[in-house]
Structure 1
Amino acid sequence: MIVFKVFAAYMGVIATSAVAHPAPNNHQDAGLVSDILTKFHQNDYKLKFERVELVRFNKQYLKKLEVVTYKYNRTSPVVNVTWMYGTDLPDYDAVVQAYRFTSNEYRLFPLRFQMSVCGAIKTSAAGLQTLTHCGNFTGCPFLKDVPTRACNWSPDETRFPPFIPDGEYMLEIQMIFRNAELYVLRAYSSIYRPIVKK
């Protein structure tokens, strides 16, 4: 009987706290994640960026989307992106899932988060602010029927989370507006630690 009373009291506390704190808005949570990502600063490892590829895009929202990776010089690959939206988008979310290359395939790695794209660009998460340095992209919002280009972008390794293990990684980045998938990208890179630290 005592166990039942304790259980009933515990469930009452949970029900009361659920009513007092309604379910958070996913877009607000995405903004919180991009705020957390701005706190990342590391010099523990080096990031060898390889490429970004476009998997698919939704032609109801995008009239054009091209992603091209090329060598800026002998050692630095960079990405050029060209797009034209078919509708005005004030902001949308990115769902990022990491995969690590083991046993001759990319396997699920326990790193997954969702963030606001405009918030990530504004706070320069992973160096995204440099998208506005080359081309005619000036930031959010994303406007309808405006051909936009961002060029010579590469990730900033100092703005990544610390203590990620060495290895080859793939990030699958799914862009979502409300309940619709806009496009999916895959980014490939390697993480390594230098033998000699400076």
Structure 2
Amino acid sequence: MLVTDYQFRSNEYRKGPIEFMIGLCFTFTSKDFDIPHMFSNSNMKCPIQKGVHYYIYKLSPNATNMPLLIPEGRWKLQLDFFYLNQYSALYVEWYSGVEYPITFG
């Protein structure tokens, strides 16, 4: 899986500094970014098998488990899924926003 981030700047989404490849099955076992909660309403399990219909329902992360230094603004996260690291199988574009509460001390 190829993960690429885009930030909304100058009236369009522009590629950001984050781009990396990660194994899909490794992602399912990760405790980061609230992944266990996000996949709690799904039947996604490794190894991925041919002929099985997979689903993910109510995919929504808990913001308290995200990294603290993400800049405010509008973001797009693009996930490209590859078969044998060569053939594009599907891609997902996930749009989100980051807002921090204003606290008066």
* TM-score clears 0.5: yes
Amino acid in the other structure paired with 2:102: I
1:109 aligns with 2:20: no
Residue 119 of structure 1 aligns with which residue?
Answer: 26
1:150 aligns with 2:61: no
TM-superposed deviation, 1:177: 2.0
Equivalent residues in 2 for 1:59-70 (5 A)?
none
1:124, 1:130 within 8 Å by CA — same for their partners in 2?
no
Unaligned 5+ runs, structure 2: none
Equivalent residues in 2 for 1:18-29 (5 A)?
none
TM-superposed deviation, 1:164: 1.4
Residue 10 of structure 1 aligns with which residue?
Answer: none
Residue 186 of structure 1 aligns with which residue?
Answer: 93
Greater share of helix: 1
SS in 2 for 1:190: strand
TM-superposed deviation, 1:120: 1.1
1:95, 1:173 within 8 Å by CA — same for their partners in 2?
yes
1:95, 1:115 within 8 Å by CA — same for their partners in 2?
yes
Output the TM-score relative to the length of structure 1: 0.47
SS in 2 for 1:153: coil
Identity of aligned residues (%): 26
Output the TM-score relative to the length of structure 2: 0.84
Equivalent residues in 2 for 1:35-184 (5 A)?
94-135=1-42, 137-178=43-84, 179-184=86-91
